[in-house]
Amino acid sequence: MNILDFYKKKQNKEKISMITCYDYTSAKILSQSNVDCLLVGDSVAMTMHGYKDTLSATLEIMALHTAAVSRGASNKFIVSDLPFLSYRKSFTKNVSAAQTLIQAGAHAVKLECAAGNLPLIQHLTESGVPVMGHLGLTPQFLHALGGYHVQGKTVKSAQKIQEDAFALQEAGCFSLVLECVPAHLAEQITQQLSIPTIGIGAGPGTDGQVLVFQDLLGLNLDFKPKFVKSFLNGSDFFSTGIESFIHAIKTGEFPQHEHCHSN
Ligand code: KIV
């Protein structure tokens, strides 16, 4: 998969799949799957570091996890999130932030919202860095939005998201994440744009879907929003393996002869 394939998939009406990934072991597993694209999301702050939101993700954290994912899934197209405020500094620092993620192994960067970001997007795309946009519920704007709420429910706010989507496409974004917006709005934007949209909590009318690795595998017991579907009861699955190990230690079933070195 490369950015040309994103456009091709939209034209051919083939759905795009994206899964978040933060570490080498998961990346190895995903590298053997048919997933189109991996996202080293700033949700890493929550899933891997236990913070309550994405605002604690730093460029250093993003680069570290991007490099690990890149080592584990060298065959996959990797998008890495520019974290909170890392692209809202001086123009030079903003470009450097993108450079850090690309040099860590990402093929593209993702950033949230349009206002104030368009010159950077244009500069990055003209400099060879593909940019994925992100509109709707943008978690880095948690406090400005007054919490995690579905966006674009009023005519005015829906119109703003639509205008921003066009502005991002015009600035050079090769694709766009639409998070937690009404399904009819996501579908309308998807039909109007020439770049593919990837939805999360945005209904079936987008060109693709993204979910957080831990959510789709049922590993995150604390968090179950309406838009998440767990395709595995991963938490029980892991617990069964762990309990079997503990039981085998206690009963002496493990280790066996084949697990021992003779000399
Ligand atoms: O960081 C993340 O996981 C994301 C997805 C929700 C799109 O940005």
Question: Over the stretch 50-70, which tens digit does the pLDDT of each residue have?
Answer: 999 999 999 999 999 999 999
The pLDDT of residue 253 is 97
- Which element (helix H / strand E) includes 30? helix 24-31
Is the pLDDT confidence value at 147 over 80?
Answer: yes
Which pLDDT tens digit goes with each residue over 238-259?
A: 999 999 999 999 999 999 999 9
The structural domains of the chain, ordered by start, are 3-232 (3.20.20.60), 233-263 (no CATH)
What burial letters (b/e) apply to 156-180, b meaning 16+ CB within 10 Å? eebebbbebbebbbebbbbbbbbbb
Is the pLDDT confidence value at 48 over 90?
Answer: yes
Both structure tokens of 191: 């039909």
- Whole-angstrom distance between the N-terminal and C-terminal Cα of the chain? 49
Confidence of residue 222 (pLDDT cuts 50, 70, 90): confident
Is the pLDDT confidence value at 263 over 80?
Answer: no
Answer yes or no: 179 catalytic.
yes
pTM: 0.97
From the CA of 154, how far away is ligand 1's center (Å)? 24
Confidence of residue 201 (pLDDT cuts 50, 70, 90): very high
The pLDDT of residue 262 is 85
SS3 content of the chain, % helix, strand, coil (to 5): 45, 15, 40
Is the pLDDT confidence value at 88 over 80?
Answer: yes
Mean pLDDT of the residues in the chain? 97
| Contact residues of ligand 1, CB 6 A cut-off | 20, 41-43, 81, 177, 179, 200, 210, 212
CA atoms of 180 and 263, how far apart (whole Å): 60
Closest to 128 in 3D by CA, of 5, 8, 37, 3: 3
Catalytically annotated residue among 14, 112, 179, 243: 179
CA atoms of 162 and 185, how far apart (whole Å): 8
From the CA of 177, give the closest atom in ligand 1.
Answer: 7
From the CA of 140, how far away is ligand 1's center (Å)? 10
